Structure 1
Amino acid sequence: MALASSLLTVAALGAVLLLADPAGAAGKTGQVTVFWGRNKDEGSLREACDSGLYTMVIMSFLNVYGHGKYSLDLSGHPIAGVGDDIKHCQYIGVPVSLSIGGFGSGYSLPSNRSALDLFDYLWDAYLGGSRAGVHRPFGDAWLDGVDLFLEHGTAADRYDVLALELAKHNIRGGPGKPLHLTATPRCAFPGSGYLGRAVATGIFERIHLRIYDDGDCEAYWHLAWGKWTAAYPATRFYVGMTASETTNGWVHPKNVYYDVAPSTQKADNYGGFMIWDRYYDKLTNYTSIVKYYA
């Protein structure tokens, strides 16, 4: 479908569907999280926050860690100025987190020591620390949270140690603001072993359950959602959807309205929507429609 046609279709649909509320309206939160940092053409972090579409932005990814080396990949975005953008977002009430992991193969946490080293690095480079010799890419800006977005690993990886260390230290992403500890798994329950053990600690504030980019998910995501939300009642769950029409598992806004929103909002610990990602969202205006159902 051509982009222009797509935008007209979505806009027309929104005009019709806004006349009524979905069955699950009682569970609406209005919370929409978006991932930013995967395409230079998506615009700046400040622009994403100023759009008024999102209640949280997650930068992606810190994609090298676990063996004494660390690397941040923001797809060519100039790092200079991001720190000021973070502060601006926080000032207008949009928290900004950093996601670790991603689609590459340069990360792992093979031991307790490596998990604790990553904790130290995150604290000193992105949160409230200031250890000599540790570069702070965003200067004195403090991020609001850490997200786990893991596409590979082994059962021996110690993300549980990392998560517990974050919680134990009661780290704050900024003055007076508690750290948002989140995870973004595929929808299969109980999840991959390397992330499953971390989530099993029960200390995650939010889980963004991806129902896209997974052929099996299209058939059983409702069942998986029920299992996840029942297993961790103290965690808020966000249904993760893609704004790209060409990605497997894309959900038409009409089906968000009639199926995804009312189905997910039945859970007492429903949190909202997670959108992948800002680049695709700018192309399709997806969130501008579905946010009303969140």
Structure 2
Amino acid sequence: MARNPVLFLSFVIVALFIETAYGGEIGVYWGQNSNEGTLSEACATGKYAFINIAFLNRFGRGRNPGLNLAAGHCGSSPAGCSAAINDCQAKGVKVFLSIGGTGGDYSLESKADAQKVADYLWKTTTSAGKEGAPAEFYDDLARSLSAYSTPGKKALLSFSPRCGSFNQQLKAVVGTGLFDYVWIRFYDSFTCSYMRSYQGAMLIAWDNWTAFIKTGKIFVGLPATQDAAEVGYIPPTDATNLMLPSLKSTPKYGGVVLWSRYFDDNNGYSSSIKVAV
């Protein structure tokens, strides 16, 4: 069972010092555990504003695109999720297809290759998200996807880097300014994930990211249980009383994205922090 994807790109925004708190929403990853229920059931809970289907982990360089989902989830093509996606959208839930993930078979070899993958994604879904460490030509993929947008139908894009991932390729991808949502994974990175003994590292990383990203809403990616990540789990009381109040003072704050639906269903994490998000 995959629990720590590598890269997520998704598509489908008198003198008193008063600190403003911005309200947010909750998103979740779904698709990596057969015991997490169906996509329609996840949307029917009313807990999530966003659901990321994880993952399309085979694409590019002439490969036939393929999904890596738990047994019983949608089959090998995003088209297998179409009825559930329509059901979720009718409830107002935005559904993203996350591309990438640990152990996948994917890469892009050129701008033309990026265009082919964009064509496939647009035909199967109108929102996509990139997960993991940025690679070459992902900025071209984002531009190709964004070009499909019309006044009546917008391609929604999201991106999910690790909190400690600053490099030239990442700067090229985020620098396109095309992403509607950026969900930063503040887990499984010892330099910037939450640790009760030292919370400052996470806050410093958050400030760096919010200064770097110029467009879209920024979400805090968190594990929904301690078992869901090697490091970075924030107990609900710490999240509601310590961390989220600090992060919510940022105008770009969008909310929290959880890994994953299975862990959240077992731990009730989203319900525990909802009032603070």
**TM-score over 0.5 for the alignment?**
yes
TM-score bin, normalised by smaller chain: 0.7 to 0.9
- Structure 1-normalised TM-score? 0.78
How many residues align? The count is 247
Residue from 222, 225, 229 that aligns with 1:244: 225
Counterpart for residue 26 of structure 2: 32
Query: Is 1:146 paired with 2:122?
Result: no
Q: 2:250 aligns with which of 261, 264, 267?
A: 267
Q: Equivalents in 1 of 2:23, 2:42: separation in Å?
A: 22
Of 200, 207, 213, which residue of structure 2 is paired with 1:232?
A: 213
After TM superposition, the runs of 4+ consecutive aligned structure 1 residues lying more than 6 A away are none
Alpha-carbon distance in structure 2 between the residues aligned to 1:71 and 1:194 = 25
Aligned partners of 2:93, 2:21: CA distance in 1, in Å? 24
Q: Distance in 1 between matches of 2:100 and 2:185?
A: 15
Distance 1:89 1:169 in 2: 22
Structure-2 residue corresponding to 1:71: 66
- Aligned match for 2:158, one of 157, 182, 188: 182
After superposition, give the CA deviation of every residue in 1:217-271 in whole Å (9 maximum; x if it has no partner): 1352211111111122322100111112122110001111122211211111111
Assess if the C-alpha contact under 8 Å between 2:122 and 2:145 holds in 1. Answer: no
Contact 2:164 2:189 in 1 (8 A): no
Query: What displacement does 1:63 show?
Result: 0.1
Aligned twin of 2:13? none
**Distance in 2 of aligned mates of 1:146 and 1:243:** 22
Alpha-carbon distance between aligned partners in 2 of 1:214 and 1:147, rounded to the nearest angstrom:
20
Scaled by the length of structure 2, what TM-score is found? Answer: 0.83
Query: Per-residue deviation at 1:24?
Result: 7.1
Deviation, 1:183, is 0.4
Deviations 1:155-183 (A, max 9, x none): xx1000010111223168xxx45222000
1:90 is matched with 89
Q: Alignment partner of 2:270: what SS?
A: helix
Q: Secondary structure at the match of 2:226?
A: coil
Q: Secondary structure at the match of 1:27?
A: coil
Say which of 32, 36, 40 aligns to 1:42. Answer: 36
Contact 2:96/2:129 (8 A) holds in 1: yes
Q: Which of 141, 145, 169 is the aligned partner of 1:166?
A: 145
Q: Is the 8 A contact 1:100 1:150 kept in 2?
A: no
Q: Is the 8 A contact 2:20 2:249 kept in 1?
A: no
- Mark the CA change 1:105 to 1:196 in structure 2 (over 3 Å): closer, same or farther: farther
- Unmatched 5+ stretches in structure 2: 1-17
Residue of 203, 212, 223 corresponding to 1:222:
203
Name the CA distance, whole Å, in 1 between partners of 2:226 and 2:19. Answer: 25
- 1:245 partner letter: Q
The one-letter amino acid of 1:26's match is: A
Relative distance call for 1:91 and 1:105 in structure 2 (3 A) is closer
Alignment correspondent of 1:292: 275
Change in CA separation of 1:85 and 1:106 when aligned onto 2, cut-off 3 Å: same
> Is the Cα–Cα contact under 8 Å of residues 30 and 39 in structure 2 kept in the other structure?
yes
